[in-house]
C-alpha cells in the first residue's frame, strides 16, 4: 500500500527562509517511505490552506527532494488555458526528473469562476476538453487540438517531458460525472475525503465499471482521508478533533457545505457541534485516526472493501513542527511497513 500526504504547510513569517519547516517535513516524509506529496489549489482563498500557485510550491519541493512524487491535489482545470497548465506541468516534470502527478478537478466555488470570467456551468465540458488536449500534447509532444473552447494548431509542447506520455492525470471528485471523466480520459481517480467506507466502496466499483465501459484499464485509485496517529487513542482524539471542527466549519461556509453533501453526515455533525465522539466511532470507515494498530486495522478494512492503490493523508491536527514531525515519524515507522 502506498501513502501520500497533503503538504504540511508551516510558514515562519519572521524567517529569511519562511518555508523551511515545511521543506524539512516533506524531506522527512520522503525518508520515511511516503510515495507522494500533494498540494491543493484555490484562488482568492486566504484561509483555505491551499496554494494559488501550486506549481511554484511543488518546484521548491522538487529542488529539495529526490524520490517522492509531487502532485497537485487538486488543480482547478477549467479556470485556465490548457496550454499554460501543460507547460507548468512539463516544467515541473523536468525539475523533478519525472516525479510530477497531475491531479485535477472541476471546482465548485462560484467566486473563483466569476473572477476568472469562466461560466461555472461549463466547468465539466471545459475540463473534458482540457484533459483531452493535454493528454494529446503529452503523448505527441505537440499541440494539434481544435475544440469548443480552445484551438492550438501545430505548436510544440515546451519543455519536453521526462515521463513518457507525460505526468499521469488523476481526476478528483465523487460524482458520477467525475468518475466517468476519470475512467474515460485520465489515469486514475482521487476520492472525496468525507464519504465513509461503504460509500467509497460503491464509488470505487462505479469507477471500475466506467473504466470497463470505456474499454480502458483501471487507473490509480487514491483514497483521501483525514488522518492523525498517536501513541494512544485519547491523544489522537485530542489532536484531530480541533482540526476537524475547523475544517467542517470552513466547508459549511462554502458552496460545498450546501445541500446534502457528505459533511452533513451524523458523525460529522456531532463533531462540528463540539461533541466528544469516541475516536473509535469517528475513525470507523471515515478517517485514519488512532494508534498505529488502529490505523493498520482500518487500512485492512479498506483493502478488503475498496482495494485502493494508495491513500492520501490530509493531516488534521496540530500545525506546529514538532507535532507534525512526531506524527509523520510514527506513521512512517509503525504503519507503512505493516500494511
Residue range 218-263, pLDDT digits in tens: 999 999 999 999 999 999 999 998 888 887 776 665 555 444 445 5
pLDDT digits (tens, 9 = 90+) for 141-187: 999 999 999 999 999 999 999 999 999 999 999 999 999 999 999 99
Four-point Cα dihedral 175, 180, 183, 185, nearest 10: -110
Per the domain annotation, does 249 fall within a domain? no
Per the domain annotation, does 247 fall within a domain? no
Per the domain annotation, does 277 fall within a domain? no
Q: Other CB atoms closer than 10 Å to residue 281's CB: what's the count?
A: 11
Q: How far apart are CA 106 and CA 92, in angstroms?
A: 22
Distances (CA, A) of 1 to 23, 65, 304: 24, 21, 12
Cβ-contact 336, 311 below 8 angstroms: no
What DSSP letter does each residue of 258-269 carry, written as one string? Answer: SSS-GGGSHHHH
Segment among 191-195, 197-201, 325-329 with least mean pLDDT: 191-195
Q: Report the mean per-residue pLDDT for the chain.
A: 93
Q: How far apart are CA 132 and CA 125, in angstroms?
A: 11
What DSSP letter does each residue of 49-69 carry, written as one string? Answer: S-BSSHHHHHHHHHHH-SSSE
The number of distinct structural domains making up the chain is 1
Task: Identify which of 232, 229, 237 has the alpha carbon closest to the alpha carbon of residue 333.
Answer: 229
Per the domain annotation, does 167 fall within a domain? yes
Let me know the angle formed at the C-alpha of 241 by 235 and 242, rounded to the nearest 5 degrees.
110
pLDDT band at 273 (very low <50, low <70, confident <90, very high): confident
Task: Identify which of 10, 71, 47 has the alpha carbon closest to the alpha carbon of residue 222.
Answer: 71
CATH of the domain at 16: 3.20.20.30
More confident residue, 334 or 12: 334
Residue 230's contacts (CB-CB under 8 Å, 6 or more residues apart) are 236, 239, 290, 291, 327, 330
Task: Identify which of 53, 44, 89 has the alpha carbon closest to the alpha carbon of residue 70.
Answer: 89
Per the domain annotation, does 268 fall within a domain? no
The whole-model pTM stands at 0.93
Cβ-contact 335, 296 below 8 angstroms: yes
pLDDT digits (tens, 9 = 90+) for 59-103: 999 999 999 999 999 999 999 999 999 999 999 999 999 999 999
Q: How far apart are CA 48 and CA 149, in angstroms?
A: 29
Q: Which residues pair with 128 in a beta bridge?
A: none
Per the domain annotation, does 172 fall within a domain? yes
Per the domain annotation, does 279 fall within a domain? no
Q: Residue with C-alpha cell 475544440?
A: 147
pLDDT for the residue numbered 48: 66
Task: Identify which of 147, 144, 109 has the alpha carbon closest to the alpha carbon of residue 128.
Answer: 147
| Angular region, 295: left φ>0, alpha ψ -120 to 50, beta rest | alpha
Q: How far apart are CA 263 and CA 272, in angstroms?
A: 10
Average pLDDT rounded to a whole number, residues 199-213: 97
Burial 203-231, CB ≥16 within 10 A → b, else e? bbebbbebbeeeeeebbbbbbbbbbbbbe
Q: How far apart are CA 299 and CA 330, in angstroms?
A: 16
Containing structural domain, residue 293: 2-231+287-338
Q: How far apart are CA 286 and CA 306, in angstroms?
A: 13
Let me know the angle formed at the C-alpha of 140 by 135 and 145, rounded to the nearest 5 degrees.
60
Per the domain annotation, does 243 fall within a domain? no
Q: How far apart are CA 244 and CA 45, in angstroms?
A: 19
Q: Residue with C-alpha cell 511543488?
A: 58
pLDDT digits (tens, 9 = 90+) for 308-334: 999 999 999 999 999 999 999 999 999
Amino acid at each position: 500500500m502506498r501513502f501520500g500526504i497533503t503538504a504540511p504547510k508551516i510558514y515562519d513569517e519572521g524567517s529569511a527562509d519562511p518555508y523551511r519547516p515545511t521543506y524539512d517535513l516533506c524531506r522527512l516524509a520522503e525518508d520515511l517511505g511516503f510515495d507522494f506529496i500533494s498540494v491543493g489549489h484555490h484562488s482568492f482563498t486566504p484561509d483555505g490552506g491551499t496554494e494559488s500557485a501550486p506549481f511554484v510550491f511543488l518546484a521548491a519541493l522538487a529542488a529539495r527532494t529526490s524520490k517522492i512524487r509531487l502532485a497537485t491535489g487538486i488543480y482547478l482545470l477549467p479556470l485556465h488555458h490548457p496550454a499554460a497548465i501543460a507547460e507548468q506541468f512539463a516544467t515541473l516534470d523536468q525539475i523533478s526528473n519525472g516525479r510530477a502527478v497531475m491531479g485535477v478537478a472541476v471546482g465548485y466555488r462560484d467566486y473563483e469562476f466569476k473572477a476568472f470570467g469562466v461560466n461555472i456551468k461549463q466547468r465539466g465540458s471545459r475540463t473534458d476538453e482540457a484533459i483531452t488536449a493535454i493528454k494529446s500534447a503529452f503523448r505527441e509532444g505537440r499541440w494539434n487540438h481544435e475544440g469548443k473552447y480552445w484551438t492550438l494548431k501545430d505548436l510544440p509542447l515546451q519543455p519536453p517531458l521526462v515521463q513518457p506520455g507525460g505526468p499521469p492525470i488523476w481526476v478528483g471528485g465523487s460524482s458520477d460525472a467525475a468518475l466517468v471523466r476519470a475512467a474515460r480520459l485520465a489515469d486514475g481517480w482521487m476520492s472525496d475525503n468525507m464519504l465513509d467506507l461503504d460509500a467509497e466502496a460503491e464509488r470505487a466499483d462505479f469507477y471500475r465499471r466506467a473504466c470497463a465501459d470505456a474499454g480502458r484499464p483501471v487507473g490509480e485509485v487514491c483514497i483521501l482521508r483525514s488522518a492523525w496517529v498517536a501513541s494512544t487513542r485519547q491523544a489522537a482524539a485530542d489532536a484531530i478533533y480541533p482540526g476537524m471542527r475547523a475544517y467542517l466549519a470552513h466547508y459549511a461556509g462554502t458552496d460545498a457545505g450546501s445541500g446534502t453533501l457528505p459533511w452533513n453526515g451524523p458523525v460529522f455533525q456531532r463533531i462540528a457541534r463540539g461533541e466528544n465522539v469516541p475516536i473509535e466511532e469517528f475513525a470507523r470507515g471515515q478517517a485514519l485516526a488512532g494508534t498505529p494498530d488502529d490505523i493498520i486495522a482500518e487500512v485492512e478494512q479498506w483493502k478488503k472493501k475498496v482495494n485502493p492503490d494508495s491513500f492520501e493523508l490530509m493531516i488534521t491536527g496540530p500545525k506546529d513542527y514538532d507535532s507534525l514531525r512526531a506524527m509523520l515519524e510514527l506513521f512512517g515507522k509503525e504503519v507503512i511497513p505493516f500494511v
